[in-house]
Structure 1
Amino acid sequence: MERGDDGALLSWFELDERLRTGAPLILSVGSFEQHGPHLPLATDAIVVEALARAVAARTGGIVLPTLPYGAPSRPRSGGGPRFAAPALRLGTLLDSVEQLAAGAVAAGARALVVLSWHWENAAVLWDALDAALCGTAARALLFDAPWDYLAPADVEALFPGEEPAWASDHAGRLETAVMRHVAPELVGEPPAPVPFAPRDGYDVLPTPEDAVPATGVVLDARAVTAAVGERCFAAMVDGIVRGIAAEEAAPGPWS
């Protein structure tokens, strides 16, 4: 990524000049949580920042520092209190994103792109952006499920002969494949499946020990490759860039 695309390396005056041209600000929101024995705690932040940098390189956007903490993980996605780690409560996350978005608008941003990789973040990001942009002339684009842009062939490569199970794929096939592409030096050997008793469509509080696999990984990710991760990463970047281009072509602050 060029220096001019990295907001952390710009002076205030350089950022002000870029924003006056209508360059979008890109905020990525990650998390800090267990990702099995084979992936780092910062996996979500690593992946979403890589997406943000790739999108900025193609759109002329300015990447803000990644928000590395997110909402608490949930048992049905392989997390929960059994794997305690620093996280933000939903209200704190909402306030944080709202204040960052409001600050971006106050700095002169007319266009804000928010990317999230952590499944549990999605519930609060829309509300935070809605509150921050109310009464302003700015516009935001929220991409909280980049995997929606995967082509059928990509999904088939991850879930051969199966229906995709995105909520259960935490630290699983997509994340392992993409991490093997963007940060292979940080990826260990995924664990073999272990028995557990997931609840069908509901949670129990406090979380029973048998409701979450002891590895924290629900799906078997041992067969995925960096090549699949590269394909999926490219498809997600393409989809995000298409969305930004479509809004740039529409009347409003993007044009």
Structure 2
Amino acid sequence: MYIADQAWPDLEDYVESESLAVVPLGSTEQHGPHLPLATDHLIAEGLAREAADRTGFLCTPTVNVGVSTHHRQFHGTMWVDPPAFRDYVESMTRNLAYHGVDRVVFVNAHGGNVQHLREVGRRLRDDGTAYAIEWMWDESIPDLVDDLFEHNGPHGGPKETAMIQHLAGDLVREERLDDARDGGVVDYGRNTGRTFGARTYYDAVDNSDNGVFGDQTDATAEKGEQLFEAATEQLVRLLEWLDERAFEDLAPKPHVEPEPGSRR
């Protein structure tokens, strides 16, 4: 159920019986010469809306701009500073809690958002407002991603290219796939951007002239459909698991014995 399509009386039954919401988050940032700036938020929204349709849970509008300072050198990239992003997402989630939602899954498709969503989730859990967790689509299906692509990459690579070919193929500049591969970094490994074990980069352009990694020519819409279906299945299972949990079981565990101050 997409909340923005409803009139407020249409939500009465939902808020009486359900307490879970799905919040898609992405970015508006460069994804190489071949993919739209919308790549991350298109993927997040596609997965969140599909999982919500299959389960009946509530899906909110998408947060389209995230923490993307590390792509700032490329035209059109938008970002907000981390504190502003955290405060916005936390405030939005507290809004959901006001309407009775105490479990939230942040359906995230942008790596730069991860640590900040985790921090927001901890804040909300620690004060008893809600149990909110971050879910990253490709991390839910790592074996499939590895099986489908010989040269994957963390950004603008074949997995994201395939997903957009499936979700919004008209936005992919197919004639630039070779340029994306040849102008970026095909072999992305654990030592990329590291010197003597230290991360010696801050921005994507420090490692890749065109901002992307992997072999984009290995992507197809058919592979994208496989990824989308597999990730959606994982997300549906997560939502159903979370819905079955008692809220008290999701709350922070008590301090180990003896409780502080128990002998006073």
Settle same-fold status: TM greater than 0.5: yes
Instruction: Please state whether the residue corresponding to 2:84 is helix, strand or coil.
Output: helix
| C-alpha contact 1:23 1:111 (8 A) present in aligned 2 | yes
Deviations 1:188-243 (A, max 9, x none): 122232367x52141346x696x233322222211211111111111111111112
Q: Where do 1:42-191 residues align within 5 Å?
A: 42-74=38-70, 79-83=71-75, 85-136=77-128, 138-143=130-135, 145-150=136-141, 152-158=143-149, 160=150, 168-189=153-174, 190=177, 191=180
Instruction: Please state whether the residue corresponding to 2:14 is helix, strand or coil.
Output: helix
Identify if the C-alpha distance between structure 1 residues 179 and 82 changes in structure 2 by more than 3 Å, giving closer, same or farther.
closer
Identify if the C-alpha distance between structure 1 residues 11 and 195 changes in structure 2 by more than 3 Å, giving closer, same or farther.
closer
Instruction: Please state whether the residue corresponding to 1:112 is helix, strand or coil.
Output: strand
| C-alpha contact 1:154 1:231 (8 A) present in aligned 2 | no
Instruction: Please state whether the residue corresponding to 1:169 is helix, strand or coil.
Output: coil
Structure 1 residue 96, shift from structure 2 partner: 0.7
- Counterpart of 1:192 (choices 165, 168, 181) is 181
Instruction: Please state whether the residue corresponding to 2:41 is helix, strand or coil.
Output: helix
Instruction: Please state whether the residue corresponding to 2:182 is helix, strand or coil.
Output: coil
What does residue 203 of structure 1 align with? 200
What does residue 220 of structure 2 align with? 225
- TM-score of the aligned structures, taking structure 1 as reference length: 0.83
What does residue 256 of structure 2 align with? none
Q: Which consecutive unaligned segments of at least 5 residues does structure 2 have?
A: 186-191, 250-264
Deviations 1:44-80 (A, max 9, x none): 1111000001110121111111010000243xxxx34
Identify if the C-alpha distance between structure 1 residues 133 and 106 changes in structure 2 by more than 3 Å, giving closer, same or farther.
farther
Q: Which consecutive unaligned segments of at least 5 residues does structure 1 have?
A: none
| C-alpha contact 1:111 1:253 (8 A) present in aligned 2 | no
Structure 1 residue 116, shift from structure 2 partner: 0.6
Structure with max Cα Rg: 2
Deviates more, 1:126-135 or 1:42-51: 126-135
Instruction: Please state whether the residue corresponding to 2:22 is helix, strand or coil.
Output: strand
What does residue 22 of structure 1 align with? 18
Deviates more, 1:132-141 or 1:148-157: 132-141
Instruction: Please state whether the residue corresponding to 2:217 is helix, strand or coil.
Output: coil
**Number of residue pairs aligned between Structure 1 and Structure 2:** 237
- TM-score of the aligned structures, taking structure 2 as reference length: 0.80
What does residue 255 of structure 2 align with? none
Taking the aligned partners of 1:97 and 1:208, their CA distance within structure 2 comes to 25
Read off the aligned partner of 1:202 and give its amino acid letter.
R
Structure 1 residue 37, shift from structure 2 partner: 1.3
* CA root-mean-square deviation: 2.5
Read off the aligned partner of 1:94 and give its amino acid letter.
R
| C-alpha contact 1:110 1:253 (8 A) present in aligned 2 | no
Deviations 1:101-154 (A, max 9, x none): 1111012213222111000100100111222344336333321x2212226244
Identify if the C-alpha distance between structure 1 residues 173 and 138 changes in structure 2 by more than 3 Å, giving closer, same or farther.
same
| C-alpha contact 1:137 1:253 (8 A) present in aligned 2 | no
- Counterpart of 1:39 (choices 35, 41, 44) is 35
